[in-house]
């Protein structure tokens, strides 16, 4: 709820303002400058309605000291003239209203101040977080039946408040799916905030997540909003939740359960309304058994679970993705190279595919990128490659015979020596190979 501080030494007017404004806002009050200063140090107020002429100080001093924290000051005075108004605005006041005033006009001024305050905070702090500009720009078009069902589930999950846990290998597009959930929800015009659990140092995690009050610790020269508060009304996405530091897990559990928190150094609980989405590429069940992740937290975040299949299990989507990445650069790819991409294992999933295509597009001078498509295939041992198709014992035997025939150029004596069998046995095996129409001259160990 919006918090107001009324600083007014006229008790009758102060009580009237408390009564009128208390119907819409959370209202606190002070009659003297020193009392107001103490309240401003102990608690954050969205708007301060300030009488400049106070018994113990000039109200302009309060504006100078606290307007930099994001609080909006609306000056109310019976001594107002154009000079006083200009001086107040110069020192950071948002608006200037002269007594006697109309309460409707005052409320309009308060609402405008709140709107400007919210815009300032978003422009200042959310620049690198809002809507993920330039991040994860994958298409969510699919030909894969399993992925179609996932998208349907995400749409349903976007309309309820329950937390969502997205699981999948690195690079499958967990953040992309989270952003899709946000885009199809009623929160689409609100912030989408990412909490990267792998990049925030443990000793800074709480203050980054929940923010802190001015003076909460050495160096805290101003109040700072945390990522949780910035996401209010929108979606809060915890990327790689499996890497969340153990010391933060109890505090996150409380927030997930209550949707309320306290800034570091704060005394008041702040309630927010956010959609919580979590993602991980780790086996959280194993982390729980190892004592690295709280079981109760896991149950709270895993209300709706979504498992994204790796790209190698939805190869029919590779042409769609390739076409999407190529269109950015106005390039093309030939069918034979596209087939190579479809059959490539893509252990880095969509992220790896994007990097390969973008690199080829940058390096290619002409219309086609074919010559610059570089696939870094991992070396696979002969045994692993041989066993991929699970050959039968008979097939293994015949493959080895064909390999030896090629190796020793048809010398039956050497083949028999290596196999530890008679020449007659070798001839029988070779006959079996010919019956299978195997070209012995070109025989290899591959199936």
Residues 361 and 426 grouped into a single domain: no
Residues 280 and 348 grouped into a single domain: no
| Sequence-distant (≥ 6) Cβ neighbours of residue 232 within 8 angstroms | 190, 191, 272, 273, 274
Residues 226 and 270 grouped into a single domain: yes
Give the mean pLDDT of the chain: 85
Contact call for residues 224 and 211 (beta carbons, < 8 A):
yes
Tally of CA atoms within 13 A in the half-sphere of 264 that contains its CB: 24
CATH number at residue 108: 3.40.50.2300
pLDDT tier, 389 (very low <50, low <70, confident <90, very high otherwise): low
- CA–CA dist 213, 239 (Å, integer): 26
Classified as helix, coil or strand, 281 is coil
- CA–CA dist 105, 111 (Å, integer): 10
Give the DSSP H or E segment for 304: strand 304-307
- Choosing from 307, 333, 363, the residue where a domain stops is 307
Task: State the average pLDDT over residues 19-31.
Answer: 90
**Residue closest to 261 by CA, chosen among 295, 220, 232, 304:** 232
79-105 confidence digits (pLDDT tens) = 656 677 678 888 888 888 888 888 888
Which pLDDT value is given to residue 377? 62
- Choosing from 288, 307, 326, the residue where a domain stops is 307
Task: State the average pLDDT over residues 218-233.
Answer: 88
30-73 confidence digits (pLDDT tens) = 999 899 988 888 788 889 998 887 888 888 888 888 877 778 99
Residue 447 lies in a domain: no
Residues 264 and 231 grouped into a single domain: yes
CATH number at residue 340: 1.10.8.60
With 70 as the cut, is the pLDDT of residue 310 above it?
Answer: yes
Tally of CA atoms within 13 A in the half-sphere of 189 that contains its CB: 1
Residues 153 and 280 grouped into a single domain: yes
pLDDT tier, 128 (very low <50, low <70, confident <90, very high otherwise): very low
Residues 62 and 152 grouped into a single domain: no
CATH number at residue 225: 3.40.50.300
Which pLDDT value is given to residue 41? 82
Give the DSSP H or E segment for 70: none
Task: State the average pLDDT over residues 310-339.
Answer: 92
163-206 confidence digits (pLDDT tens) = 999 999 999 999 999 999 999 999 988 999 999 999 898 999 99
**Total domains present in the chain:** 4
Residue whose structure tokens are 């035997």: 397
Which pLDDT value is given to residue 81? 60
Contact call for residues 44 and 72 (beta carbons, < 8 A):
no
- Choosing from 102, 125, 148, the residue where a domain stops is 125
Tally of CA atoms within 13 A in the half-sphere of 75 that contains its CB: 30
Which pLDDT value is given to residue 99? 80
Residues 40 and 176 grouped into a single domain: no
Residues 101 and 234 grouped into a single domain: no
Which pLDDT value is given to residue 342? 94
For residue 75, what are its two tokens? 């000056």
Rg of the Cα trace of the chain?
34
Structural domain range at position 344: 312-372
**Residue closest to 223 by CA, chosen among 117, 3, 66:** 66
Residues 282 and 399 grouped into a single domain: no
**Residue closest to 34 by CA, chosen among 70, 16, 9:** 9
Residues 219 and 281 grouped into a single domain: yes
**Residue closest to 139 by CA, chosen among 106, 179, 169:** 179
């Amino acid at each position: 709820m919006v918090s107001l501080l009324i600083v007014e030494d006229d008790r009758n007017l102060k009580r009237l303002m408390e009564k009128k404004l208390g119907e819409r806002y959370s209202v606190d009050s002070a009659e003297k400058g020193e009392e107001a200063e103490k309240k401003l140090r102990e608690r954050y107020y969205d708007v301060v309605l300030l009488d400049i002429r106070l018994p113990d100080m000039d109200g302009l001093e309060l504006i100078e000291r606290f307007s930099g924290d994001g609080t909006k000051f609306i000056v109310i005075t019976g001594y107002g003239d154009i000079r006083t108004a200009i001086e107040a605005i110069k020192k950071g006041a948002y608006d200037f209203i002269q007594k006697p005033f109309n309460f409707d006009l005052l409320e309009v001024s308060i609402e405008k101040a709140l709107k400007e305050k919210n815009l300032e905070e978003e422009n200042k702090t959310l620049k690198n977080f809002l809507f993920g500009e330039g991040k994860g720009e994958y298409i969510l078009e699919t030909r894969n039946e399993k992925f179609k069902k996932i998208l349907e589930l995400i749409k349903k999950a976007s309309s309820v408040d329950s937390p969502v846990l997205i699981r999948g290998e690195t690079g499958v597009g967990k953040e992309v799916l989270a952003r899709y959930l946000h885009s199809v929800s009623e929160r689409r015009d609100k912030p989408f905030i990412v909490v990267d659990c792998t990049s925030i140092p443990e000793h800074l995690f709480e203050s980054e997540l929940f923010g802190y009050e001015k003076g909460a610790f050495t160096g805290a020269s101003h109040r700072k909003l945390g990522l949780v508060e910035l996401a209010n009304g929108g979606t809060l996405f915890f990327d790689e939740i499996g890497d969340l530091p153990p010391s933060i897990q109890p505090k996150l559990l409380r927030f997930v359960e209550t949707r309320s928190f306290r800034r570091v150094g704060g005394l008041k609980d702040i309630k927010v309304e956010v959609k919580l989405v979590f993602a991980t590429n780790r086996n959280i069940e194993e982390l729980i058994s190892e004592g690295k992740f709280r079981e109760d937290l896991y149950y709270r975040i895993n209300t709706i679970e979504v498992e994204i299949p790796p790209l190698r299990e939805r190869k029919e989507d590779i042409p769609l993705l390739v076409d999407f990445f190529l269109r950015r650069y106005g390039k093309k790819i030939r069918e034979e190279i596209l087939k190579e991409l479809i059959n490539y294992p893509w252990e880095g999933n969509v992220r790896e595919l994007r990097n390969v295509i973008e690199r080829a597009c940058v390096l290619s001078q002409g219309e086609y990128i074919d010559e610059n498509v570089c696939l870094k295939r991992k070396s696979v041992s002969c045994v692993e490659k041989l066993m991929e198709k699970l050959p039968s014992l008979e097939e293994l035997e015949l493959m080895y015979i064909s390999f030896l025939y090629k190796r020793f150029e048809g010398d039956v004596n050497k083949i028999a020596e290596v196999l530890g069998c008679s020449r007659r046995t070798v001839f029988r095996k070779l006959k079996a190979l010919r019956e299978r129409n195997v070209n012995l001259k070109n025989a290899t160990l591959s199936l």
